[in-house]
Every structure is written in C-alpha cells, then in structure tokens.
Structure 1
Amino acid sequence: MFEPKLSVITIVYNNVRDIERTMLSVISQTYTNIEYIIVDGLSTDGTLDMISKYHDRISKLISEKDKGIYDAMNKGLAMATGDYVIFMNSGDEFYDPDTVTAVFASAEDADIYYGETEMMDDSGQSLGQRRHQAPAVFTWRSFKYGMSISHQAIYIRRSLADPYDNRYKLSADIDWIIRAAKKAKKIVNVNRYVAKYLVGGMSKKKHRQSLKERFDIMKRYYGLIPTVFNHFVIAFNLGWYWLKNKRTND
C-alpha cells in the first residue's frame, strides 16, 4: 500500500480565532503517516496557549520572529522530512477527515497531487467553489490565466519543493508552484474537494501589490507579450463572472 510520509505545515501569527479549527482538521485525518509542523511568528494573543493544548499531536513547533509569511514558510520547509509537503495555514482546513487518505489512494508515486477548494467566510459558512476551477490537467503553464489551484490544495514531492522566493511578499506561492510543476513528471488530479480556504489574507488587503508581483512572475515564465494578452483575458473573465453572478443574485 502506498503510504508516503506527508509533512503538513501550518504558519500562524496572532490568530487565536482560527488556529484550533486548522489544527483539528490536521490531527483528525484518518491518514496516520503525517508529520505536523507549526511555525508561529511569536504570537501574543493566546495562539500559543491554544497550540499547547495539542502539543502531543505536533511533531515540530517553533515560535520566533520572522521576516514575513514566506520566510516563515521557508522555515517550515527546512524542518520538513516528509516525502510530500502541503501548507495548511491558520484558518484553512482539509476538506474532511479522509482527505489525505483519498489523495494518496488516487495514484501512486506522483510528483504533485491536486484537487478542488471550497471557499469559507469568517463565520465558517461556505461560499462555494473558487472562481478559478482546478484544471482537469495541470502543467506549469496552467497558471497563465491566474492561480487555478489554491495553495492549500496541492501536495508537492518535497524533493521538488525549493524555498520560496523572498523577493515576493504576497505572490511567492505562484512562483513556487510553477517551479515545482516545471520539474514534475507525474501530476495527478484527485478529482475531489481537498481543502477549505478562508477568504481574505494579505493578498486581498494589498491587492495592487499582489497583482504587480503576479504579473512579474507570469512575465518571467510565459513572456511579456503573452502575459499582457493573458491579462486581457483574465480581466474579461473576471468581468463576465461578476456580471453573471450579479444577474444570478438580482
């Protein structure tokens, strides 16, 4: 039976409201070969007290100042010893207790596994599927129209997972996934929901900077002219999505 070791990494800073929900979604997995790593940014709001409630279920914990989210994520990657890694950051969850079991039962020895994501609001209510549906087939070129797979829904072989590029403060996850996908030989769509994603985050609060970083990343991988053209397509798709949903809600 194919039962690789999975390193689940949770990044958190002052999020006592959501951290327990994330942790419970990890430690309640029916899959047992999990290394759970938590990287805390020296929280002061009670987050560490909440984490300590489950200390016997955590493989590794560090709590120290960092230089931003991707610096913290790089610390988690450096500590990981699993065959695969996935980030389930504070506020996000595995879709259900059988998620990891189902992912590795879908195919053996893939370089990347991915699935679909359900969006959640602050109150824990479902907002439905992401606007970007996960592609039926994923390659490193699949992000040319946007991040079609959420960060919480992608399992990457650790040997392919380089450190995050710290020059990007908000969109380094796009660059990280593209780099891994370029090296991957076997990428598997598990054809199910695998994660719940808490809507918001810094990329929403600093949307302009996030878009600039994303454009720079796409330009590097896909070329300037194609990226400019693709952004017209992205804008059209976004406008159509907004119009369609506005009509639905009217």
Structure 2
Amino acid sequence: MQEKISISVITVCYNAAKELRHTLQSVASQTYPHIQYIVVDGASTDSSLELIKEYQTDIDLLISEPDSGIYDAMNKGIKVATGDYLCFMNAGDTFHSPTTLADLFAQIHRPLPDVIYGETNIVDESRHFLRPRRLKTPQQLTYLSFLSGMVVCHQSFYPRRALVPYYNLTYRFSSDFDWCLNILAKATQTYNSQMVLTDYLAEGTTTRNHRASLKERFRIMTHHYGWLKTFLAHFYFALRSLVK
C-alpha cells in the first residue's frame, strides 16, 4: 500500500486565461490522490475566473484579490498550504504526464527527503516539445549547486513545507532563486527523482525581464556566497557561453 504523502500544488495567475487552462487541466488529470490544489489569482479582469470555475471541483482553495506581484501571490499560497511538500505550477506550466506525481511518490519513503527534484522540458504555447532545459540537474543537489546557475527549475523543485520560507519581496524577478537557496541552506537530504517532472512554458516573467533578472541573481549570489565566489562563478558562466 502506497504511503500517504501529500503535496500542495500552487498556481499563481493574473489575466492569464490563454495559458491557464493547460495548467488547470494538468493538475486535474493527476492520478495521485493526495493533492491540495491552491489557485491564487490577482483579481484578473479577463476570463480567468470563469475558467477557474470550470475546474472548481478540482481546486481546494481559491484566493482572488489584488496583490503586489507574483511573489506576494506565492506567499499567499504558502500561508494556506498544508501538504508535506510544495510545488509551484504557474499558468502555462504543466506536469509532464497525468501520472507524474503518482510515479514520483511511489519512489519516496519516510523519513522524507527535504527536497525532491527532477528535470524540466521546455514547450511552446501549443505544448510542443522544444528542448530539454539547458542546465541539467546535478546528481546530488546542495546549497553550493546554484553556483553553476539555477540548475533546477523552480517548478521541478519540491521542498518539504516545514522548510519553506516566504519569498523575499525586495526581489522582483529572481526571488525564486533566493527562495531555493534559503531552503537548500537548511536541507540535509535531497532526492533526485531522475524524472522529467515539468513541461515549462518557454516565455515567462523572468525571461521577459532577462537583464533585470540576471542583475538580481548576481545580488542574490553575492548575499549567499560572497563576492569572490560569485565573481568566479560569473567568469565561468562567460566562458561557458563563449564555448557554446
């Protein structure tokens, strides 16, 4: 008998009706039964709320009110989450298959690892596969792994709720990078699922604000690793880019 391990899946959206259906349908189609599904909508003025109502039987909690941005909305989701693990699946992103969570948690036994992670595929708006994510996940994810960049996609990073802090709202574009590092700083055991967990929509908030995001990441890395390690890491990034 499969052990009951619960997960809170949180979808944050604002005027994203075009992409949102894919995400709602993906969560609704999961065969794994122990899911708390939370949707945090920023008081959308498009047809998002009508679409959400179509899936109301699959949604455990809906919050629809103005917020101060994506990370403020994510914090609202964290506040009401009750699962053993948390997963952020934003509008346009989907689980790789209907059995993703069932297949994943069939591997997991107590004592629970602090972070479960896996691979990510990049897809277009029609859900067509484009490529694997450029950075591969490390065999063993640690606090120092992010010196090589964000080696695990935020949507394929499932931390134990007990370790989860709120997002730092002083970062507008890369607070997820800081959030993952804060969790990994406390984690003692991480688990590589060796699975593709997420199909990630190619265009997102961070990619639309790429330069600002990179500047924030530099600040975040300096805060966590110090200036010298951050400088050397970015020197390596530059060399890697030239080689490619």
TM-score by length of 1: 0.94
Say which SS state the counterpart of residue 83 (structure 2) adopts.
Answer: coil
Q: Which of these residues, 177, 189, 192, is aligned with residue 192 of structure 2?
A: 189
- The answer to whether residue 197 in structure 2 is matched with residue 199 in structure 1 is no
Q: Deviations over 1:57-86 (max 9, x none)?
A: 100001111001000000010010111110
Deviation at 1:238? Answer: 2.4
Deviation at 1:213, TM superposition (A): 0.6
Tell whether the 8 Å contact from 2:19 to 2:125 is kept in structure 1 after alignment. no
Name the amino acid aligned to 2:99.
Answer: D
* Structure 1 residue 215 displacement after superposition: 0.3
Give runs of aligned pairs for residues 156-167 of structure 1, distance below 5 A: 156-167=159-170
Tell me the amino acid that sits aligned with residue 89 of structure 2. Answer: M
Conserved in 2, the CA contact under 8 Å of 1:30 and 1:101? yes
Give 1:32's aligned residue.
33
| 1: CA distance, partners of 2:206 / 2:154 | 13
Q: Name the structure 1 match of 2:52.
A: 51
- Partners of 2:192 and 2:131 lie apart in 1 by 19
The amino acid of 2:147's aligned partner reads K
216, 221, 234: which is aligned to 1:218?
221
Deviation of the 1:3 alpha carbon: 2.1
Which residue is equivalent to 2:69?
Answer: 68
Find the counterpart in structure 1 of residue 145 from structure 2. 142
Q: Deviations over 1:82-127 (max 9, x none)?
A: 1111000100000101111122222321111000000012232211
Task: Find out whether 1:229 has 2:223 as its counterpart.
Answer: no
Identity within the alignment, %: 44
Q: Whole-Å Cα distance in 2 between the matches of residues 139 and 103 of structure 1?
A: 20
2-side partners of 1:8 and 1:27: how far apart? 11
The 1-side partners of 2:140 and 2:151 are apart by 11
Cα distance in structure 2, aligned partners of 1:123 and 1:33: 29
Give the secondary structure class of the aligned counterpart of 2:140: coil
Task: Give the TM-score, by structure 2 length.
Answer: 0.96
Structure 1 residues 2-37: Cα deviation after superposition (integer angstroms, max 9, x where no partner): 221110000011111111110111111110000000
Q: Note the residue ranges of structure 2 that are not aligned, 5 or more in a row.
A: none
1:186-207 C-alpha deviation (Å, 9 max, x unpaired): 1000001000100122222222
In structure 2, the partner of 1:178 is 181
CA–CA separation in structure 1 for the residues paired with 2:34 and 2:209: 37
CA contact (8 A) 1:215 1:227 kept: yes
Q: Hey, which bits of structure 1, 4+ residues long, moved more than 3 A? A: none
Paired residue secondary structure (2:9): strand
Give the Cα–Cα distance (whole angstroms) in 2 for the partners of residues 12 and 234 of structure 1.
Answer: 32
Name the counterpart of 1:131.
Answer: 134
Give the aligned length: 241
Alpha-carbon distance in 2 for matches of 1:123, 1:193: 19
Q: Secondary structure at the match of 2:144?
A: helix
